[in-house]
Structure 1
Amino acid sequence: MRPPPAILVPGAEVLGYAVERQLGQGGFSTVYLAHNGGKPFALKLLHLPRVGERVEREVSILLKLRHPHVVGLQGYGLWPPGEPRFAVIVMEYVDGRRLDVWADEENPSARQVARVMLDVARALAATHAAGVLHRDVKEANVMVRASDGLAKLVDFGIGDYTGARGLTEDILPPGTPEYRAPEAWRYFRQHARIPGARYVASAPDDLWALGVVLYWLLTGRKPFDGEDDAGFIEAVLTQKPTSPCEENERVPHALSDVCMRLLEKTSEARTPNALAVVTTLEEALRSADAEWDVPLCDAFGEDTATTEGQQDSFEKWRNRPRHRPRRGVRAPPSRAEAPTTQVKPRRSFRVWAVMRMVLALVAAVALLPRGAERFPEAVTPRQEVAPTDKSPQSDRAAAPNGPEATAAAVALPATHQEVAATVTTQTPETPSIPLSSKPARKVRSVMTRAAGTAACTALMACPGPQVRPPPPPEPCPIGAVKAMNARSIRIGDTHGAVFVFSNPQIISVHEGPARLILVGPWEGLPSKTELSGRLIMRDRVYGRLTWATTPDGDSFPVCLEVLAEEGDRGMAREPGDDSPTSARIYTTAGVKAVREFE
């Protein structure tokens, strides 16, 4: 399983750089915007036990490349000092948007696309001239600067260079399958059963990927598709895609020809090198006319909105030859346009029912005689989790001590944030979590606090509480909403989760890394999926979960807010710990899919 490589809170300091916010996250690294001396930098943290020699490979590559269209290396180090667990690559910060986001929001013209592709081709020409291969050219690895539209090639994490030692044992080098060249798939088919066979990528592989990117920019779709992996590979090997100018009539023929030459099935027939791409694009731009300044795609607007009654006409438009895709900012639908049919039911924590119950309990407490507090309580033994410096493995062996046994707990300090786990316990094969049946003491603690607050307010005789406001808003990790949508989890959906798999209990938690476990399947997420993120201590305990790891080891970003079991944002603090950095909370919770943290 792969938890997030690093979770740093705003304000954390790494090698003298003050972290501001997360920029992106992958399987082996996390990138943050940080400042040093008033200047912005991009900090890439890689978990040393997992990346091995690859971090040295990436640093070596960046040292070889000094080009205005390649992200620049600013420094390198290990962190934390003394016992390093992360490699830190300090890079130039590109204030802008990823190429795919830029295209979707900007709805660029042919001239804009050609200029961006010219920048990327120049970057590849310099890269190849230095004996380096990128091996992962795609929209997500190109940044378009906001100030002037200049494009930069980023993320050489799986790159290679002449003379470098091989780091993988697979038949194909690392890369994104949708951008692999036909020669790579052909080699895979012919050598899949030959032990020790290794495909060696070359510059034409990067050029093919550049062609795939250009095709998407011009048409809004990828050049190849298939019902499954085998069908996709077969299409790459045998099918010639429709030319971009036929797919979209606004694409100039000169730009369409550049794209199709990059998508030739053999490296010999393909454009010979990136420098030739640069020359061809420069010539095309010199002869460009006013038609190159028309947006390539139709913009979203009221006239493009689709309702249920217009489905037939929309399908005719969508399948019409030479149609143009839609791009640009979508206008928010009005309430009158909101769908009223086929609305997917959402899970609910029945907030109003709980509120009515609490109000009734508060009223009952006001009528209780003083001796009622001494009534015996029918509660099950609880387990309180105390902080420990031991490893999770040793904590699992902790023996009970007294009526409130000690369960396993790990809450790493804010500076050691790779293992994002607040509580680690032995997970049973078939969890049975009574999410709605709390011990009597739990209910009474909530009731007593509410009654006490009401009494203080009514009598004006209690000192005012130290109010700690909720944490400030924060954007979701890049790609989180898309990853959740891919698994049919919509914004606003909720589901149950727990901090520990055992009977409901009160535990101690700390500011910093946290881990919850999903109870039961949630759309495309299987049961026991680990949800990692961090806890923020305020008057309530707020949780922001940014990474999911399924039992099968599949990892991806998410954006989930932690809810109390009653449905409120944040967990209620139980009596006994008013520390600004720790709290006592109940183990059962909920999570809610959000577009951004409030």
Structure 2
Amino acid sequence: MRPPPAILAPGAEVLGYTVERQLGQGGFGTVYLASNAGQPFALKLLYLPRAGERVEREVSILLKLHHPHVVSLQGYGLWPPREPRFAIIVMEYVDGRRLDLWADEENPSARRVTRVLLDVARALAATHAEGVLHRDVKEANIMVRASDGPAKLLDFGIGDYTGARDLTVDILPPATPEFRAPEAWRYFRQYARVLGARYEAGAADDLWALGVVLYWLLTGRRPFDGEDDADFIEAVLTRTPVPPHEVNERVPHALSDVCLRLLEKTPETRTPSALAVVAALEEVLRGADAAWDVPLCDAFGEDTATTESALDSVEKWMNRPRHRPRRGMRAPPEAPPTPAGATPPETTAKPRHSLRAWAVVVTALVLITTGALLLRGAAGPSGAVTLRQEVAPTDKSTQSDRAVAPNGTEAITAAVALPATLQEVAATVTTQLPEAPYLPLSSKPAKKVRSVMTRTAGMVTCTALLGCPGPQVRPPPPPEPCPVGAVKAMKERGVRTGDSHGAVFVFSSPQIIRVHEGPAQVILVGPWNDLPSNTELSGRLIVRDRVYGRLTWATTPKGDSFPVCLDLLSEEGDRGMAREPGDDSPTSARIYTTAGVKAVREFE
């Protein structure tokens, strides 16, 4: 089964809406910022074969809800119109940040946290009044608007209402485990072996999750933890969380008490309703003094810009309740002092270059000055050294479109004749052969290296010797956050940030292919920890002076899908793929089929 679309290219038209950029990604769909008649909207694409009844569920819920702190429904439909594969839900666009990002970047005071939580509690009160449960209250599903600070509750994809059919046949309904209430885990323990047993969530489950959110906002940590799943569930069921004001002395006692009442172990002892939460928060705000306006956490500053010593970190870990977490904008790294008479370093960011690229430039300059004819295209000496292969296989959206090569055989116009093993193929770069064998990646032939040197030398010859205009330099793409849950999903499968592995665009002999900017796939070569061989990695290509790839979704051969955050690497380990001669288009390029992928925390 294919995952939902990874990325639609900016400018794509969907049911009259123009896509501008991706906003987020989950297990069943992708959300984009789109515009219509000059107005912004959030466009949610859900892959029909995978989303199932969730589409009808979310639309039905949003039609019931009309509240200033609940994201509003603007329209819905199916796309493409003739052969629908996706459901489109058009929602109000909230120009702001997810609650977790807002808290980390703003380092809010107790007063600001309370006001935001009041908005969410009011949204839940209106939701419950309509007989609707959210069932996935968490920071990622709460947006804080940038302009004036109010919060909105969104993503009712796994919500529930009276008369709705079950989404799954599991004993527990869909939810995020870290936010499940004790009564859900208690039911699971008692009835796990009872055929047909089904836990029915209630408003108290949403209130418990709200308490977990508030605890994190106040302390920077979760109220419960454990060595493994069983230990975590035991903690939720039996352990009393440390009061927030004891974890963080800047938390007002009254607000700490509101949080603890939301985290009572049974629905009967918990705050009885969202309306009661609203009343409690309004009451504590009436008694707030100047201490409520102090940021809850320590800020990052000049004295905290450097890494703490191991001893200091261990001491703080052993005494966690005594130390507040740090939040807010990080201080920029201090530039090293410039020696007297030396030219200060550039302050603007520059794209990184590999040692291999610099070596090519230096070699070209030396050969030019000694009269070597690099552009004759002669074969290199038999003793030429091939580059060492550094990315070798030692160890949440499918695309709606594919990046394809043009039909028919295309003439190669490279300055250097390419060997037969590098001939270009007219094939779809996202094609995967069924049951493709494990293919070890060999180093590129020496003549492949020569083509890169020739292109570089040609550029140097034009600019340095003939005074021609320099080539148009297109900067690398701007930074971009990873999909929600990508880092966690990779870690659960043994892939940690910084790890890299081999991948290919097509399973065949090493060759050159033409790719286009936009959606694309590569295929994992060989197993990568718990990621099996032949796993499809979906994302998009960005054509610049190199071809950059940002892969955001993985689909295993068995059909399991989850978000990832992987940068496309050249075979030598550089970010992005080198462009081969023969295509100078700003939207397409010729690249080598052998690549690599690297797990990252965010796209640089």
TM-score in terms of structure 1 length: 0.82
Q: Distance in 1 between matches of 2:13 and 2:254?
A: 50
Pair 1:438-2:456 in alignment: no
Confirm or deny: 8 A CA contact 2:94 2:145 kept in the other structure. yes
Q: Contact 2:3–2:28 at 8 Å: present in 1 too?
A: no
- Say which SS state the counterpart of residue 258 (structure 1) adopts: helix
* Aligned equivalent of 2:297: 297
CA distance in 2, matches of 1:369, 1:247: 69
| Partner of residue 100, structure 2 | 100
Does residue 477 (structure 1) correspond to residue 482 (structure 2)? The answer is yes
CA contact (8 A) 2:107 2:297 kept: yes
- Give the whole-Å Cα distance in 1 for the aligned partners of 2:205 and 2:184: 8
Pick the aligned partner of 1:410 from 417, 425, 428: 428
Instruction: Return the offset for 1:153.
Output: 0.5
Task: Tell whether 2:538 aligns with 1:532.
Answer: yes
Q: For residues 570-596 of structure 1, give each alpha carbon's deviation from its aligned partner in whole angstroms, at most 9, with x where no partner exists.
A: 434434556665443211234456676
Q: 1:240 to 1:90 in 2, by over 3 A?
A: same
Residue in 1 that maps onto 2:191: 191
Relative distance call for 1:292 and 1:195 in structure 2 (3 A) is same
Going from structure 1 to structure 2, the CA distance change for 1:114 and 1:476 (only over 3 Å counts) comes to closer
**What does 1:376-415 correspond to in 2, within 5 Å?**
387=406, 409-410=427-428
Query: Which range moved further: 442-451 or 355-364?
Result: 355-364
Which 10-residue stretch deviates more, 248-257 or 47-56? 248-257
Q: Which residues of 2 match residues 231-250 of structure 1 at below 5 A?
A: 231-250=231-250
Q: Distance in 2 between matches of 1:169 and 1:518?
A: 33
Change beyond 3 A, Cα 1:44–1:224: same
Deviation, 1:496, is 4.2
1:517 — aligned with what? 523
Task: Note if 1:216 corresponds to 2:216.
Answer: yes
Alpha carbons of 1:333 and 1:466: their partners in 2 closer, same or farther (altered >3 Å)?
A: closer
Change (3 A) 1:369 1:296: closer
Structure 1 residue runs of 5 or longer lacking an equivalent are: 338-346, 379-384, 390-401, 412-420
Tell me if structure 2 keeps the 8 A contact 1:438–1:504. Answer: no
Report whether the alignment pairs 1:60 with 2:60.
yes
- Aligned mates of 1:500, 1:221 — CA distance in 2: 45
- 8 Å Cα contact 2:111-2:292 kept in structure 1: yes
The whole-number CA distance in structure 1 between the counterparts of 2:261 and 2:37 is: 47
Q: Which amino acid aligns with 1:547?
A: W
Q: 1:371 to 1:146 in 2, by over 3 A?
A: closer
Q: In the alignment, residue 301 of structure 2 is paired with which amino acid? A: G
- Once residues 53 and 517 of structure 1 are traced to their aligned partners in structure 2, the CA distance between those partners, rounded to angstroms, is 30
Checking the alignment, whether the CA contact within 8 Å between 1:143 and 1:152 is kept in structure 2 is yes
How big is each residue's C-alpha offset from its partner over 1:114-142, in whole Å with a ceiling of 9 and x where there is no partner? 11111111100100000100000011111
Distance 1:458 1:313 in 2: 53
Structure 1 vs Structure 2 CA RMSD: 3.8
| Preserved contact between residue 183 and residue 266 of structure 1 (Cα < 8 Å) | yes
Residue number in structure 2 paired with 1:344: none
Query: Any idea what SS the aligned residue of 1:266 has?
Result: coil
Deviations 1:38-87 (Å, cap 9, x if unpaired)?
11111111111100111011000000000001001111111122122111
**Which residue in 1 is equivalent to 2:512?**
506
SS in 2 for 1:185: helix
Determine the C-alpha separation between the residues in 2 that align with 1:471 and 1:534: 14
State the alpha-carbon separation in 2 of the partners of residues 371 and 167 from structure 1: 63
Match of 1:424 in 2: 432
Q: Is the 8 A contact 1:141 1:155 kept in 2?
A: yes
Structure 1 residues 360 and 180 mapped into 2: Cα distance closer, same or farther (>3 Å)? same
Checking the alignment, whether the CA contact within 8 Å between 2:423 and 2:512 is kept in structure 1 is: no
The CA deviation at 1:451 is: 4.9
CA deviation profile, 1:135-186 (whole Å, cap 9, x unmatched)? 0001111111111111111110100110111121111100000000111101
Q: Matches of residues 42-121 of structure 1 in structure 2 within 5 Å?
A: 42-121=42-121
- Secondary structure in structure 1 of the residue aligned to 2:510: coil
Structure 2 distance, partners of 1:316, 1:323, is 7
Could you tell me whether the CA contact under 8 Å between 1:408 and 1:424 is conserved in 2? no
Aligned-partner residue type, residue 138 of structure 1 = K
Query: CA–CA distance in 1 between the matches of 2:71 and 2:97?
Result: 14
For residue 324 of structure 2, give the secondary structure of its aligned residue in structure 1.
coil
Task: Give the whole-Å Cα distance in 2 for the aligned partners of 1:225 and 1:301.
Answer: 29
Report the Cα offset of residue 315 of structure 1: 1.4
Query: Within 5 A, what are the aligned runs for 1:242-391?
Result: 242-304=242-304, 307=307, 309=309, 311-312=311-312, 315-316=315-316, 319=319, 321-334=321-334, 350-352=356-358, 366-367=372-373, 372=378, 387=406
Using the alignment, how far apart are the partners of 1:528 and 1:361 within structure 2?
43
Q: How does 1:483-494 map to 2 (within 5 A)?
A: 483=488, 486=491, 489-490=496-497
Q: Which residue of 1 aligns with 2:206?
A: 206
Residue type at the aligned position of 2:151:
A
1:2–1:350 CA distance, 2 compared to 1 (3 A): farther
Distance 2:453 2:211 in 1: 64
Q: 2:553 aligns with which of 541, 547, 558?
A: 547
Which residue type is aligned with residue 86 of structure 1? F
Q: Measure the CA separation in 1 of the matches of 2:424 and 2:315.
A: 61
Task: Give yes or no for contact 1:68–1:152 (8 Å, CA) kept in 2.
Answer: yes
In 1, the alpha carbon distance for the partners of 2:422 and 2:328 equals: 58
Q: What are the equivalent positions in structure 2 for 1:154-165 lying under 5 Å apart?
A: 154-165=154-165
Q: Does 1:31 align with 2:31?
A: yes
Shift of 1:192: 0.8
- Matched position secondary structure for 1:137: coil
Q: Letter of the aligned partner of 1:197 in structure 2?
A: A
Say if 1:83 and 1:439 are closer, same or farther in 2 by CA, change over 3 A: farther
The aligned residue for residue 558 of structure 1 is 565
Change (3 A) 1:317 1:427: closer
Following superposition, the deviation at residue 208 of structure 1 comes to 0.7
Give per-residue Cα distances to partners, 1:395-446, cap 9 Å, x unaligned: xxxxxxx9999979435xxxxxxxxx3x423454533111x23263x34433
Letter in 2 for 1:174: P
SS in 2 for 1:7: coil
| Match of residue 415 from structure 1 | none
Distance 1:538 1:24 in 2: 24
Cα distance, 1:530 vs structure 2:
3.7
Secondary structure of 1:45's aligned partner: strand
In structure 1, C-alpha distance between the alignment counterparts of 2:362 and 2:377, rounded to whole Å: 26
Would the alpha carbon gap of residues 231 and 205 (structure 1) be closer, same or farther in structure 2, given more than 3 Å must change?
same
Q: 1:145 to 1:582 in 2, by over 3 A?
A: closer
Q: Which amino acid aligns with 2:538?
A: S
**CA displacement at 1:276 relative to structure 2:** 0.9
Q: CA deviation at 1:557?
A: 3.4
The one-letter amino acid of 1:424's match is: Q
Change beyond 3 A, Cα 1:408–1:172: farther
Aligned partner of residue 124 in structure 1, secondary structure: helix
Q: 1:375: how far off?
A: 12
Give the TM-score normalised by structure 2.
0.81
Distance 2:142 2:60 in 1: 20
Counterpart CA distance in 2 for 1:371 and 1:221 is 62
CA distance in 1, matches of 2:22, 2:359: 38
Deviation at residue 387 of structure 1 after TM alignment: 4.7
Structure 2 CA distance for aligned equivalents of residues 590 and 319 of structure 1: 42
| 8 Å CA contact retained: 1:508, 1:584 | yes
**Residues in 2 aligned to 1:374 and 1:177: alpha-carbon distance in whole angstroms:** 60
Deviation string 1:523-567 (CA, Å, 9 cap, x unpaired) is 88776554321123455433333334566736223152x343355
Number of aligned residues:
555
